[in-house]
Each structure stands twice: as C-alpha cells, then as structure tokens.
Amino acid sequence: MTSLVREHLNGTAATIQKVLADETILSTVAAAAEATAASMLKGGKLLVAGNGGSAADAQHLVAEFVCRLVHDRAAMRAVALTVDSSNLTAIGNDLGFDRLFSRQIEALGATGDVFFGISTSGNSPNILAAIDEAKKRGMITVGFTGKDGGRMVGLCDFTVIIPSSITAHIQECHLALEHVFCAMTERCYFEGLKQS
Ligand SMILES: O=C(CO)[C@@H](O)[C@H](O)[C@H](O)[C@H](O)COP(=O)(O)O
Ligand SMILES: [Zn+2]
C-alpha cells in the first residue's frame, strides 16, 4: 500500500520540479501578484472562482487575503464567488450553472478589479463565462489551469498552465502557487502603501 503513497508523492514532486524549471510560470505568477497589488492600491478587489477542488482553492486563497497568510496586517479586499448558497442556487436554478460566476461578476466586478479563475481543464463553461464578463468590465484576469490549457488559452492577462495531465497534481501545484501569489501580492501591496 505504501507504494501507492510513494507513487502519488513522486508524481507531485515531479510536477513541482517541472513548474520550478519553467521560468514563464514563475514570472507569470510574480507579474499577476504585482498587477493585483497595483489594483488593490487603487481600491480594486480580487474575485476568485473555481469548481470542485478548485472552489475550495478559491475560498482558501480568499481567506489568506481577508484574514492573514504569514504576517499580521490589515485585511485585504478579496471575495470567493463559490460560497453564497442562495446566490449559487438561485443563479444555477434560474439562469443556469454556466452563469454561476459571471452573474456575480455583473453584481460585484468593477473596472480595474481582478478576476482569478481556476480550472484544471481550462474548459469549465462557468469559468470561461466569468473571464468573458470580467474582460467586458475592464477587469484584470488571471487564469490557473493545466493539461493543454483547454479553452482558457489566450483568454486571460496572466495564465499559468501546470504541465501535467493529472488533475490532482495540477491542483496541488495550483495551491502552492496560490500561496506564493498571496504572499507576493501582500508584500507588493504593503510596500506600495508605505511609499504612498
Ligand atoms: O477535486 C477534484 C478532483 O481532484 C474535483 O472535485 C474537480 O475539481 C471537479 O471535477 C471539477 O468540476 C473539475 O473542473 P475543472 O478543474 O476542469 O474546471
Ligand atoms: Zn481534488
């Protein structure tokens, strides 16, 4: 049985090594964090969405911003679009599952805000519709995906494609990079506040 554990962790480690060797991924995460901090310094907010395990990621990432990651500091403006059961059931029931997140962006998204969409396949229609709505509103878009990037390729201002075809390993790398994204955003944001 331990061989299964070892096999999974070897897959995780190999995927993380591939990410580490990919300068494009590293610089894209850094650039997305800088853009998010710049947005927040101008009063912008971060809206995050995903399905299944990626919905949990959305909530996890937002909690780091609103509560804290490493340092005690002021709260940062971030909202997970995966958590309000009345919104989710009303929109899903009345307008359709594909509009689950785009409808909330219609309500909450403003020019200069950031939408962060997470889809391991890059093909979830509700994430694609949310990116579309965010772009219509002049928001900055960040996409975390994997496999071949699916239909998310070329849609976002910042796209991270984890080089793996295994959903679990893509999610594991997403979570590691989401922590880095939050840490870098908070560093840039509070440096920017000090300078202003
Ligand atoms: O966590 C997992 C698999 O590890 C699942 O819940 C997974 O997130 C769901 O199947 C999602 O619906 C997949 O959507 P996506 O990542 O392709 O957008
Ligand atoms: Zn999962």
Do the beta carbons of residue 125 and residue 51 sit within 8 Å? no
Report the candidate in 71, 73, 128 with the shortest Cα–Cα distance to residue 105.
Answer: 128
Which residues neighbour 89 within 8 Å (Cβ) at sequence distance 6 or greater? Answer: none
ipTM score of complex: 0.99
Residue 96 in marked binding region: no
Query: Taking CA 130 as the corner, what is the angle to CA 127 and CA 136, rounded to the nearest 5 degrees?
Result: 145
Q: How many domains does the chain have?
A: 1
d(CA 11, CA 52) in angstroms, rounded, equals: 21
Whether the CB of 171 sits within 6 Å of ligand 1: yes
For residues 72-83, average pLDDT: 97
Q: What is the pLDDT of residues 7-28, one digit of tens each?
A: 999 999 999 999 999 999 999 9
Q: What pLDDT, on a 0 to 100 scale, did the predictor assign at position 40?
A: 98
Q: Is the pLDDT reported for residue 136 higher than 90?
A: yes
Residue 195 pLDDT class (50, 70, 90 cuts): confident
pLDDT average, residue stretch 170-175? 98
> Would you say 108 and 131 are in contact if contact means Cβ atoms under 8 Å apart?
no
CA of 194 to the centre of ligand 1 (A): 40
Structure tokens belonging to residue 30: 């850094």
Residue 125 beta carbon below 6 angstroms from any ligand 1 atom: no
CATH of the domain at 173: 3.40.50.10490
Model confidence, pTM: 0.98
Which uninterrupted H or E stretch holds 50?
Answer: strand 46-50
Q: Taking 90 as the threshold, does the pLDDT of residue 196 lie above it?
A: no
pLDDT tops 90 at residue 184: yes
Look up the domain containing 38 and give its range: 2-195
Whether 71 has a pLDDT exceeding 90, the answer reads no
Among 82, 167, 172, the mutation site with the greatest number of ligand 1 atoms within 8 A of its Cβ is 167
Could you give the percent of the chain with pLDDT greater than 90? 96
**87 belongs to an annotated ligand binding site:** no
